[in-house]
Amino acid sequence: MSDMKESLLALRDRFDKEIEQIKDSDAAEKMRVAYLGKKGSLTQVLRGMGGLTPEERPEVGKVANDVRTHMEEFLEQVTNQIKTFESSKKLEREKIDVTLPYKFNGAGARHPLNMAINEICDIFLGLGYSIGEGPEVEYDKYNFELLRIPEGHPARDTQDTFYINDNILLRTQTSGMQIRIMEQTKPPIKVICPGKVYRSDALDSTHSPVFHQIEGLVVDKGVTMGDLVGSLRLFAKKLFGDNTEIRLRPHHFPFTEPSVEVDLTCWSCGGCGCRVCKNEGWIEVLGAGMVHPEVLSNCGIDPEVYSGFAFGIGVERTAMGRYGIDDIRLLYENDVRFLEQFK
């Protein structure tokens, strides 16, 4: 019996020495098989248990169990250490250096026209208007006909445009949105419609074949010219400052009656007269008027019950005044040196 005990203890010593040399998890697994596997050394020794007397068995069995537990625990401990070491090595190998310099492409800036549109829309949103949008490729009836500009009307000459066919064109004004809105909505109506418009004009410092307008429309019971003036005064002061006044000049638009052109106090000289306002002290910014009764009834709204006002703001001119831009072409050339100034 002491023979067996000795072999077990010798086996344990051998195991302890060998495990010191282990360097990777493969070697650890090999050792596990060599000692604890089916044909392993410990298993071999335990086969000899059969030759022991029943009295000897428990004592040798205890030693054998201790040796097995010792080996198992030792192996597990070493295997864990090796695994931790190996994975930290792997992390080290796969490390990415996030401090490397990268190429910065530069952040963009809002276009001054969009800035102006946003600013103007914000003012009217604050006055309780909602925002509407419609197509740039428009039917003749919305752009002209239902706004009381029939074929052959002289107003068509001043708004020559690009025709898709006899009935479809690139819209020359956002005023067609008045019709679209009134056809779809019942009063009370209070809406602004920003958008692009087209005219076959040559490009120079104040004209472009593509430009932007913001249409305004208010229809309700008892809407008067006083409401129009009040709204526009408020708009002018919010956009250009408290000292800004508006001036109304009688004009003619086929779809409003009466109609006016609206000037604002010159934003460059404050009204004394300068190069920007051609010494007038005023700058024309928009057209407006009371919606013509015929236009209301064209859209199924009874002009005996309802009245309304409308206006159309030129966005380019407003943006140029607001941001001190002296040539309209700068707005379309997309020169980064110009655009960057609006960051």
CA dist 30 and 61 (Å) reads: 25
Please state the closest distance from residue 289 (CB atom) to ligand DAH, in A.
Answer: 4
Residue closer to ligand DAH, measured from CB, 139 or 311 = 311
Q: Which residues of 90-105 are buried (b: 16+ CB within 10 A; e: fewer)?
A: eeeeeeeeeeeeeeee
Q: Pull the structure tokens for residue 151.
A: 């074929």
Residue closer to ligand DAH, measured from CB, 271 or 289 = 289
Contact set with ligand DAH (CB under 6 A) = 173, 175, 215, 253, 256, 259, 287-289, 310-312
Please state the closest distance from residue 135 (CB atom) to ligand DAH, in A.
Answer: 16
Residue closer to ligand DAH, measured from CB, 15 or 142 = 142
What is the edge-to-edge ordering of all strands in the sheet holding 282-291? 130-131, 189-198, 210-220, 307-314, 282-291, 256-265, 246-251
**Length, in residues, of the chain:** 343
What does the H/E/C string look like for 67-116? HHHHHHHHHHHHHHHHHHHHHHHHHHHCCCCCCCCCCCCCCCCCCHHHHH
Please state the closest distance from residue 259 (CB atom) to ligand DAH, in A.
Answer: 6
Please state the closest distance from residue 147 (CB atom) to ligand DAH, in A.
Answer: 8
Whole-angstrom Cα Rg for the chain: 44
Residue closer to ligand DAH, measured from CB, 28 or 328 = 328
Please state the closest distance from residue 189 (CB atom) to ligand DAH, in A.
Answer: 13
Please state the closest distance from residue 171 (CB atom) to ligand DAH, in A.
Answer: 10
Q: Pull the structure tokens for residue 85.
A: 């070491």
C-alpha distances in angstroms, 48 versus 13, 45, 70, 71?
19, 6, 20, 19
Q: Pull the structure tokens for residue 167.
A: 């009935």
Q: Pull the structure tokens for residue 240.
A: 């250009």
Closest C-alpha to 331, from 214, 180, 244, 203: 203
Q: Which helix (H) or strand (E) holds 164?
A: none
Residue closer to ligand DAH, measured from CB, 42 or 295 = 295
Residue closer to ligand DAH, measured from CB, 161 or 173 = 173
Please state the closest distance from residue 313 (CB atom) to ligand DAH, in A.
Answer: 8
Residue closer to ligand DAH, measured from CB, 208 or 259 = 259
**Peptide linkage before 258 cis (omega within 30 of 0):** yes
Residue closer to ligand DAH, measured from CB, 71 or 228 = 228
Please state the closest distance from residue 311 (CB atom) to ligand DAH, in A.
Answer: 5
What's the distance, Cα to Cα, between the start and end of the chain in Å? 93
